[in-house]
């Protein structure tokens, strides 16, 4: 009957709508699978509270709460970084016992401030966690701010020595050429500064602002630290000078230059004609660049 016949156009439209709806559903599902899940604030807050309490047993509850090595807070800190930041060293160590938290991507993860777990552990002075992170392969040296800068900022002598034992570059420079020693002086940490000096830090270095560690101590009106750093500058310079080649009392200029790795070049004019009044042969000598490889007191500013 005509009244009961279905309009082919209506049927096609219904099929199309069904296809579109199913397609959208599939796209949403794929998006959920491809992107990391969102972690509710209260769930992360539970982890933060556990970290503050240093509750390592909380690790057992994490799967049921949907927390794992992909979880992030608003500043892109992973949970290992949150545990370290809140002083939950035992909780952090419990995480690091699991294979998922030993991955390079986790150990070298950077938050929005370009901080790594090792840097946060260092600034909090967590010696055990710092040691464990290094054992698992966390990078001690990196471009820009380093874990040693952070340890110096908080004045953690134990972590400074630990990083030094694992080949931390003592005079590492930040983006504006600030060294760990400058950070120790800036925050009035003389024991940390002494530990850095003992490891070979150069107190004469200046950053891009033209400031040395002693200058930062002056800004803090720490006269004792200023005086001590001045003495260390003198001591460092003297040690550097003693490392220079010893010169014999009867040495000639050529001896001194050659002993330092340089080269003496003698240039004589081919003819004496054509000199103007008051002009000497020296005026006709070509410029000779300094010999390569000769460096004179690079640590003195």
Residue 99: phi and psi, rounded to 5, are -60, -35
pLDDT digits (tens, 9 = 90+) for 147-175: 999 999 999 999 999 999 999 999 999 99
Joined together, the tokens standing for residue 168 give 């931390």
Residue positions counted in the chain: 301
- All structural domains of the chain: 36-116 (1.25.40.20), 140-243 (1.25.40.20), 245-267+282-301 (no CATH)
Mean pLDDT of 93-109: 97
From 190, 191, 130, 140, select the one nearest 170 (Cα to Cα): 140
pLDDT at 238: 80
Place of tokens 């209506």: 10
Question: What residues have CB less than 8 Å from 63, skipping those under 6 apart?
Answer: none
The sign one gets for the Cα dihedral 77, 79, 81, 82 is positive
pLDDT band for position 21 (50/70/90)?
very low
Place of tokens 């972590």: 159
pLDDT digits (tens, 9 = 90+) for 228-245: 999 999 999 887 766 666
In the chain, the percentage of residues whose pLDDT exceeds 70 is: 67
Contact 92, 84 (CB under 8 A): yes
Mean pLDDT of the chain: 81
Joined together, the tokens standing for residue 265 give 């070049």
Helix axes 157-165, 147-154, angle to 10 degrees: 160
pTM above 0.85, yes or no: no
pLDDT at 287: 56
Residue 210 pLDDT > 50, yes or no?
Answer: yes
Please list the alpha-helical segments (H only) found in the chain: 8-34, 41-52, 62-65, 79-85, 89-95, 104-107, 117-123, 127-135, 147-154, 157-165, 180-186, 190-198, 213-219, 223-243, 253-259, 281-284
pLDDT at 43: 86
pLDDT at 207: 97
Residue 19 pLDDT > 90, yes or no?
Answer: no
Residue 251 pLDDT > 80, yes or no?
Answer: no
272 versus 208: which is more confidently predicted?
208
From 195, 141, 145, 151, select the one nearest 173 (Cα to Cα): 145
pLDDT at 25: 45
């Amino acid at each position: 009957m005509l009244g009961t016949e279905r309009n082919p156009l209506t049927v096609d439209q219904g099929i199309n709508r069904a296809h579109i709806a199913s397609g959208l559903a599939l796209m949403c599902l794929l998006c959920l699978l491809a992107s990391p899940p969102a972690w509710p604030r209260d769930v992360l807050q539970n982890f933060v509270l556990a970290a503050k309490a240093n509750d390592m047993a909380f690790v057992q509850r994490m799967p049921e709460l949907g927390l794992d090595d992909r979880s992030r807070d608003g500043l892109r800190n992973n949970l290992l970084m949150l545990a370290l930041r809140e002083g939950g060293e035992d909780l952090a160590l419990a995480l690091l016992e699991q294979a998922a938290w030993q991955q390079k991507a986790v150990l070298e993860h950077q938050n929005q401030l370009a901080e790594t777990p090792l840097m946060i552990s260092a600034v909090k002075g967590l010696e055990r966690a710092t040691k464990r992170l290094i054992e698992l392969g966390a990078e001690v040296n990196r471009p820009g701010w380093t874990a040693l800068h952070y340890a110096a900022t908080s004045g953690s002598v134990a972590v400074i020595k630990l990083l030094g034992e694992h080949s931390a570059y003592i005079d590492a420079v930040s983006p504006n050429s600030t060294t760990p020693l400058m950070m120790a002086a800036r925050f009035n940490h003389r024991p940390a500064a002494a530990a850095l000096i003992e490891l070979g830090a150069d107190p004469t270095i200046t950053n891009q602002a033209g400031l040395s560690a002693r200058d930062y101590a002056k800004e803090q009106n720490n006269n004792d630290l200023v005086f001590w750093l001045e003495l260390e500058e003198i001591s460092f310079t003297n040690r550097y000078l003693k490392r220079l080649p010893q010169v014999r009392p009867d040495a000639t200029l050529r001896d001194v230059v050659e002993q330092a790795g340089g080269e003496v070049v003698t240039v004589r004019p081919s003819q004496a004609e054509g000199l103007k009044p008051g002009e000497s042969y020296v005026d006709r000598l070509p410029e000779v660049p300094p010999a390569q490889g000769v460096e004179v007191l690079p640590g003195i500013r």
